[in-house]
């Protein structure tokens, strides 16, 4: 169980017809102790060398901080208004012993990254935003800050809750997937939240990035419409649907704002410990795949971003909104655009189960990307797939294995490319705009042989995005939030 974080905060007024009910907490000593524990944690560390503690920060050039919490580690990017990176770094998560240990590990990484930012830059940070993995869910006591349940990770399935969710949601809705946020909430509610003991009376649902941002601003019940999609929020109506609000657990739902919307100033505890400005504002976040899309800085129907990290996620700018839970397809709203896509469990996590990073580099040199591999795999790290096939029982297919490791890697890379191509083809079949160009983000963007394979398999131009890290996209959201705050003050 994660130690309680006792906070002195005022509840944030809720939006979109959701009643304000979060109770303020008292005291802040527990929060300070948590910060100290996080900073001194012995988490395994990997730091980037790109640090510039020069005069820019001291001179007061406004800087904008984005932090990405992926499946294997956290990364920050600090940019200026022109998009230039002034500092960046990363931290691997500390070893996790149980489910609750994930929260402690994320918290440690968050405050370690703040401590890694060159002190000369910190007073110039105007705003902060964080992205997290989609449908990663926590249940928190809003009176004590105690973690009541979870974290339930993005790929965890709760088939026990699926019949109840399907009975209230429209057919083929995004929430009609055993790994959806709503299934996680309903599963918890049915076993603990409605047992008559009052355990659910002060409970609030938080997505991963909501919770991490809460550690910085102290306001309960705040999310964004990208993270809230898989709990049932309707981004087109900009409200929770009536079928969801009629449920007894609806009181646990957060209020929803646009990604990159200012929430509140950084808590005094955090500000004083890390030398941040009193004017530094914390903004709503987004999901990791949306942040990766933002980082690519592409726009226009037919343009797409494939994020090749531990998993494979595709996002396509479409003139039409498409949602179909049968195939794990859903549409995110970002301003006035629809980002249609899905996320497969295939990706870098499979590669790392089979090869070291050095082996991946060396073996890739021996691959002819112009030649199609005859090997047909469905690479998954474990049982279960989300997109373009939604099947929690799908088993990995990684056999037969040839004697040549280079041939084996070639077959795996090409098979992942086929899954990607099937994904974009499915989106078109369901009514989305046809893909015309694909930008690549994430670690897989570094492999040029894989890029060439994917271009051949997809049949459209494929290129590495100028910025490939989701943290950069989160920093762009922080920039947007700072501008919104200035606009709000001016009006």
Q: Are residues 122 and 251 in the same domain?
A: yes
- The proportion of the chain whose per-residue pLDDT surpasses 90, expressed as a percent, equals 71
Using DSSP's 3-state secondary structure scheme, residue 105 falls into: helix
Domain-embedded: residue 449: yes
Contacts of 215 (CB under 8 A, 6+ apart): 5, 107, 110, 270
Q: Are residues 331 and 431 in the same domain?
A: yes
Both tokens of residue 178?
């055993």
Q: How far apart are CA 427 and CA 409, in angstroms?
A: 27
Q: How far apart are CA 35 and CA 5, in angstroms?
A: 10
Tally of residues, the chain: 491
Q: How far apart are CA 425 and CA 436, in angstroms?
A: 12
Q: Are residues 247 and 339 in the same domain?
A: no
Sign of the CA dihedral with 204 first, then 472, 305, and 356 last: negative
Q: Are residues 370 and 479 in the same domain?
A: no
- Condensed to tens digits (0 to 9), the pLDDT of residues 395-449 reads 999 999 999 999 999 999 999 999 999 999 999 999 999 999 999 988 898 999 9
- Condensed to tens digits (0 to 9), the pLDDT of residues 89-129 reads 999 998 887 777 999 999 999 999 999 999 999 999 999 99
Terminal-residue alpha carbon distance, the chain: 44
Q: Determine if the peptide bond prior to 127 is cis (ω within 30°).
A: no
**Single pTM value for the model:** 0.77
Write the CATH number for 206.
3.30.420.40
Number of independent structural domains in the chain: 2
Phi, psi of 254 (to 5 degrees): -80, 160
pLDDT category, 53, cuts 50, 70, 90?
Answer: very low
Q: How far apart are CA 307 and CA 451, in angstroms?
A: 12
Q: Count of H helices and E strands in the chain?
A: 14, 18
Q: Are residues 81 and 190 in the same domain?
A: yes
Q: Are residues 89 and 162 in the same domain?
A: yes
Domain-embedded: residue 224: yes
Q: Are residues 140 and 264 in the same domain?
A: yes
Q: Are residues 166 and 269 in the same domain?
A: yes
Domain-embedded: residue 108: yes
pLDDT value of position 417 = 98
- Condensed to tens digits (0 to 9), the pLDDT of residues 354-370 reads 999 999 999 999 999 99
Above 80 in pLDDT, residue 17?
Answer: no
pLDDT value of position 292 = 86
Domain-embedded: residue 19: no
Domain-embedded: residue 212: yes
Listed residue (288, 306, 311, 290) closest to 435, CA to CA: 306
Q: Are residues 256 and 331 in the same domain?
A: no
Partners of 74 in beta bridges: 69, 91
Q: How far apart are CA 477 and CA 283, in angstroms?
A: 8
- Condensed to tens digits (0 to 9), the pLDDT of residues 296-325 reads 888 789 999 998 988 998 999 999 999 888
Q: Are residues 230 and 113 in the same domain?
A: yes
Q: How far apart are CA 60 and CA 258, in angstroms?
A: 28
Domain span at residue 227 reads 63-289+472-490
Listed residue (65, 86, 84, 85) closest to 76, CA to CA: 65
């Amino acid at each position: 169980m994660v130690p309680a974080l006792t906070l002195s905060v005022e509840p944030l007024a809720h939006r979109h017809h959701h009643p304000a009910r979060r109770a303020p907490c008292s005291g802040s000593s527990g929060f300070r102790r948590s910060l100290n524990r996080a900073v001194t944690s012995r988490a395994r560390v990997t730091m980037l060398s790109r640090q510039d503690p020069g005069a820019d920060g001291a001179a007061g050039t406004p800087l904008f901080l984005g932090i990405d919490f992926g499946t294997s580690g956290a990364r920050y990017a600090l940019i200026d208004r022109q998009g230039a990176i002034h500092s960046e770094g990363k931290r691997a998560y500390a070893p996790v012993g149980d489910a609750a240990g994930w929260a402690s590990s994320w918290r440690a990484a968050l405050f370690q990254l703040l401590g890694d930012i060159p002190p000369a830059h910190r007073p110039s940070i105007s705003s902060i935003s964080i992205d997290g993995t989609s449908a990663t869910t926590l249940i928190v006591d809003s009176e004590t800050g105690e973690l009541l349940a979870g974290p339930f990770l993005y790929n965890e399935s709760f088939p026990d809750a699926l019949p109840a969710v399907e009975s209230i949601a429209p057919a083929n809705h995004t929430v009609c997937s055993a790994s959806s946020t709503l299934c996680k909430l309903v599963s918890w509610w049915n076993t603990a939240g409605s047992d008559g003991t009052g355990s659910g009376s002060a409970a609030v649902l938080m997505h991963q990035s909501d919770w991490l941002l809460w550690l910085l601003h102290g306001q309960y019940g705040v999310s964004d419409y990208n993270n809230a999609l898989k709990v049932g929020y309707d981004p087109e109506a900009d409200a929770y649907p009536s079928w969801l609000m009629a449920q007894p657990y609806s009181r646990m739902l957060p209020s929803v704002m646009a990604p990159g919307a200012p929430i509140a100033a950084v808590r005094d505890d955090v500000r004083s410990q890390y030398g941040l400005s009193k004017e530094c504002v914390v903004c709503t976040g987004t999901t990791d795949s949306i942040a990766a899309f933002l980082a690519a800085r592409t726009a226009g129907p037919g343009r797409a971003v494939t994020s090749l990290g531990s998993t494979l996620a595709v996002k396509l700018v479409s003139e039409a909104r498409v949602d179909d839970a049968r195939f794990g397809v859903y549409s995110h709203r970002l301003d006035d655009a629809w980002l249609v896509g899905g996320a497969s469990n295939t990706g870098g996590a499979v590669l790392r189960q089979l090869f070291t990073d050095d082996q991946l580099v060396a073996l890739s040199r021996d691959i002819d990307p112009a030649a199609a591999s005859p090997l047909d795999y469905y690479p998954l790290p474990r049982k279960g797939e989300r997109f373009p096939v939604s099947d929690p029982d799908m088993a990995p297919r990684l056999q037969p294995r040839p004697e040549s490791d280079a041939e084996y890697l070639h077959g795996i890379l090409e098979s992942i490319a086929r899954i990607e191509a099937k994904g974009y083809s499915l989106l078109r079949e369901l009514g989305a705009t046809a893909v015309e160009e694909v930008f690549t983000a994430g670690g897989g963007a570094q492999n040029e042989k894989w890029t060439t394979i994917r271009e051949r398999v997809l049949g459209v131009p494929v290129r590495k995005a100028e910025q490939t890290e989701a943290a950069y996209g989160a920093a762009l959201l922080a920039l947007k939030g700072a501008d919104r705050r200035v606009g709000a003050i001016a009006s």
